[in-house]
Amino acid sequence: MRSNKEIEETIRTKLNFTFDPPLRGQLLARALREQEQSQETEPAIDRPAIRRMIMKNSIVKLGIAAVIVAVLGIGIVEFLGTGGTSGVVWAQVAKNVEASTGVIFRSGGTGLRNPIDDWPNGYRITWRSAAVTRTDYYRGGQMYRTIYTNADTKTVIALFHDAKKYNKEAMSDERVQRARADKERWTDPQGLLNLALSLEHHALGQKTIDGVLCEGIEATGPDGSTGRLWVGVETGYPVLAEIEGIDDGKVRHTGTMDQFRWNVDLSAEGVEPEIPADYEPL
Amino acid sequence: MVEDQLLKWKLRRGSKEALAQVYQKYIDSMLTLAVGLLNNRATAEDVVQDVFLSFARSAGELRLQGSLRSYLMTAVLNRVRDHRRRLGRQALRADAAEPVDPECRSSDPEEAAILVEETARLGGAIAQLPDEQREVVLLRLKANMRFRDIAGLQQTSLNTVLGRYRYGLDRLRAMLNGEVER
């Protein structure tokens, strides 16, 4: 549940409105004309200013999606930061991931901005391919939000199930580039391959996860954050990822990715959500 | 701030550059406050335009000793109050029923979609607050005003303002956490 402090921070940082560029320009031009006209009739009066103003300006751009990226994405970067000495051939794992047309996985964590979304009460199911990402958000077992992005069609569809609202809009080129960059950072197969080959790790040995014999590696980042990745011995695909993010020497965030399904043809999965007839525009 | 002192000095000398700088620096904050107070973007834009054009006309006579930010935010508040008085409560409720089109500056599409929703919910919750509580919350958090100054604007005691702020936040928290029906 959000605290009053978090409500304050949300209002400070997220409640922002701007004039549309055309109106913005028109208003300034009109204001300058008004200023000029007033000077033609009234002389300016000088008077020294006295008081000093203290202005706080805090900018925090952290949505839930960003938290996910921070907790899980950065964590993945960190746990891949370790080389390979185990029985699993990690370069082959990266090749497998690269060749996978699409993947579905579950993710969750603790220490999120809104504690109500902490695991196990909250979690997400994500479908991801090179161009498409769909994430369903769950809270208390109920799906309350769906976000779908398609970099090829430059489309974003957001469904807010609890409010029966939706938002569908075109992605700007900037957002398309950002979406593709996100994939390169932590979900793009080539990105994973490069990271796996360039960083060091130590082996965790073998254990069985959900009936699958896995081998794991663990890495520790410069700030003490740790990540563990478990890969199926037979399949050569990731089965479980666990991350512990450290801030100021304490564990602030944990993240888990599991229930992976690799080599999924997302086009056949009907990933693009349909907007229910009774949903209203946001 | 020294920068604002310089801007005021230039404004009194009719500097167009200074007016443009004030505009760039504060116009979005003014709009955010107005939208928050009115929960109606179109009306908020009208209010802010009126305020800034009036400011531009009188900039040469500016005898302001306080901060430009507080001055402009107070002007927005006063214009909003005028608007309320002019239209009356019934019209305002109809006004508020128009959904505010939320916006998000994030370039990440998934994050942007979430923030759009959160902004809409936040705006909707703020709109449910009584006027006095909404004013205190927004003047404090979006205009960075001191409680003492807000008390002056509301012509009430500091303790009353502090109470309105706390009750306002409690109510917002309850609404956003789903503890009460809006």
Sorted by where each begins, the domain ranges of chain B are 1-101, 109-182
Give me the amino acid identity at A185: R
Q: What is the pLDDT of residue A184?
A: 47
CATH 2.50.20 fits A68-130+173-277, yes or no: yes
Which numeric CATH code is attached to B1-101? 1.10.1740.10
As given in the structure block, the two tokens for residue A71 are 């907790």
What does the block give as tokens for A66?
């960003």
Calculate mean pLDDT across residues A246-259.
76
Specify the higher pLDDT residue, A157 or A255. A157
Query: What is the distance between the terminal CA atoms of chain A, rounded to a whole angstrom?
Result: 24
Judge whether A260 and A127 are in contact, CB under 8 Å.
no
The CATH code of domain B109-182 reads 1.10.10.10
Please give the Cα distance from B161 to B172 (Å, whole number).
16
Whether A12 and B142 lie within 8 Å, measured CB to CB? yes
At B98 the pLDDT is 45
Flag whether pLDDT at A91 surpasses 80.
no
Residue spans of the domains in chain A: they are: 68-130+173-277
Residue whose tokens read 């390169």? A184
**Would you list the DSSP string of chain A?**
---HHHHHHHHHHH------HHHHHHHHHHHHHHHHHHHHHS---------------------HHHHHIIIIIHHHHHHTSS---SSS-HHHHHHHHHH-SEEEEEEEEES-SSGGGSTTTEEEEEEEESSEEEEEEEETTEEEEEEEEETTTTEEEEEETTTTEEEEEEPPHHHHHHHHHHIIIII-HHHHHHHHHHS--EEEEEEEETTEEEEEEEEE-TTS-EEEEEEETTT-SEEEEEEEEEETTEEEEEEEEEEEE-S--GGGTT-SPP--TT-EE-
Interatomic CA distance for residues B137 and B131, integer angstroms: 10
Residues B112-121 pLDDT 10s? 777 777 777 8
| More confident call, A249 vs B27 | B27
The CA distances from residue A51 to A30, A186, B146, in Å, are: 30, 50, 14
Containing B37, the helix (H) or strand (E) segment is helix B16-38
Q: Check residue A114 and give its pLDDT.
A: 67
Q: B157 to chain A, minimum CA–CA distance in Å?
A: 22
Instruction: Answer yes or no: do A15 and B36 touch at CB < 8 A.
Output: yes
* DSSP 8-class letter at B107: S
Chain B residues whose CB is inside 8 A of the A112 CB are none
A49 — phi, psi (to 5°)? -80, 150
The predicted-structure confidence for A138-169, as pLDDT tens digits, reads as follows: 998 899 999 898 888 988 898 989 888 888 88
Q: Does A174 touch chain B (CB under 8 A)?
A: yes
- Comparing CB atoms, the residue among A16, A34, A55 nearest residue B32 is A16
Q: Is the pLDDT of residue A270 over 60?
A: yes
Give me the pLDDT at residue B64, please. Answer: 72
Distance in angstroms (rounded) separating the CA atoms of residues A56 and A8: 14
Which range is least confidently modeled, A143-157, A162-176, B6-20, B87-101?
B87-101
Residue A20 pLDDT class (50, 70, 90 cuts): confident
Q: How confident is the model at residue A109 (pLDDT cuts 50, 70, 90)?
A: confident
Whether residue A238 is preceded by a cis peptide bond, meaning omega within 30 degrees of 0, is no
B60·A28 Cβ contact <8 A = no
Report which residue type is found at A209. Answer: I
Name the residue facing B5 among A4, A42, A49 (closest C-beta).
A49
pLDDT at res. B99:
45
Of A79-93, A197-211, A225-239, B79-93, which one has max mean pLDDT? Answer: A225-239
Q: What are A40's strand-pairing partners?
A: none
Question: Is residue A107's pLDDT more than 60?
Answer: yes
How many A-B residue pairs are in contact by the CB < 8 A criterion?
A: 208
Residue B95 has what pLDDT?
45
**Kind of pairing, strands A165-170 and A202-209?**
unpaired
Q: Chain A interface, mutation test: which of B31, B54, B111, B170, most A Cβ atoms within 10 Å?
A: B111
Is A207 part of the contact surface with chain B (CB cutoff 8 Å)?
A: no
Higher pLDDT, B91 or B162: B162
Contact B115 A63 (CB under 8 A): yes
Could you give the CA distance from residue B142 to residue B136 in angstroms, rounded to a whole number?
10
Q: What share of chain B is helix, strand, coil (3-state, %, to 5)?
A: 80, 0, 20
Q: What mean pLDDT value characterizes chain A?
A: 73
Residue A18: list chain B partners with CB under 8 A.
28, 31, 103, 105
Residues A3, A10: contact at Cβ < 8 Å?
no
CA distance A121 to A140: 5
In this prediction, residues A208-226 reach a mean pLDDT of 81
Q: Which residue in A183, A177, A134, A178 sits closest to A159, CA to CA?
A: A134
Q: What is the ipTM of this complex?
A: 0.81
